[in-house]
Amino acid sequence: MITETALTLLARFLSGVSVRWVDCQPDTCQRVYFANHTSHIDVILVWSALPHKVRRLTRPVAAKDYWSKGWIRPRLAKVYNAMLIDRKAIKVHQSPVQLMLDQMGHEFSVILFPEGGRQSGERVGEFKSGLYYLAKKRPDLELVPVYLNNMNRVLPRDEYLPVPLLSSCTFGPPMWLEDGEGKNDFLARARDAVMKLSRFDVDEE
């Protein structure tokens, strides 16, 4: 049986991940961890980078059509208590944002990827509006930017077996939606917060 500890150790071994916290510390308060997205195992990597007591209160948001297929994916999703969103059954009165808020309640944090789909890793793509509406409906939530480096090489697109390489997961300082801040300005600021964390990888080279 796949356990939380085994999945965490495996994810860290395969990715060779180094975890750093910049002007931010692990906390069990409700947060939205938002990261760049270049690999299917990004969700497992961010989750496994959190301390145990924080992981138990953090649910990755993932696509139901991907994580419900086969034998291994549903079991992995169950281990990390994924919040599976059915992208094909989205309705006006049942938006993904409202589904997330309902399942978060006042207990769970979430991990999401505002770019929507996986990117090449060469740049951080434009953010979709979901993060903005989460922040607008729950202004009390801490929004923590996360930058993943080198994950596009650990598990390249259309590959199924990870390649053991060094990677990093950097958590940045929390942010909030400011009074009167518009959607486009907020999303640009959030994207910039993620991109700024990439400099810590450059500084170590």
Domain residues of the chain, as ranges? 15-200
Q: What is the pLDDT of residue 111?
A: 96
The predicted pLDDT at position 112 comes to 94
**pLDDT > 50? residue 154:** no
Homologous superfamily (CATH) for 15-200: Glycerol-3-phosphate (1)-acyltransferase (3.40.1130.10)
Average pLDDT, the chain: 84
Q: Model confidence over 30-49: pLDDT tens digits?
A: 999 999 987 777 888 899 89
Q: Are 100 and 87 in contact (CB under 8 A)?
A: no
CB 131 within 8 A of CB 190: yes
Name the nearest CA neighbour of 169 among 67, 46, 85: 46
Q: How confident is the model at residue 85 (pLDDT cuts 50, 70, 90)?
A: confident
- Asked whether the whole model's pTM tops 0.75, one would answer yes
- pLDDT of amino acid 173: 98
152 Cβ partners below 8 Å, 6+ apart? Answer: 38, 39, 119, 120, 121
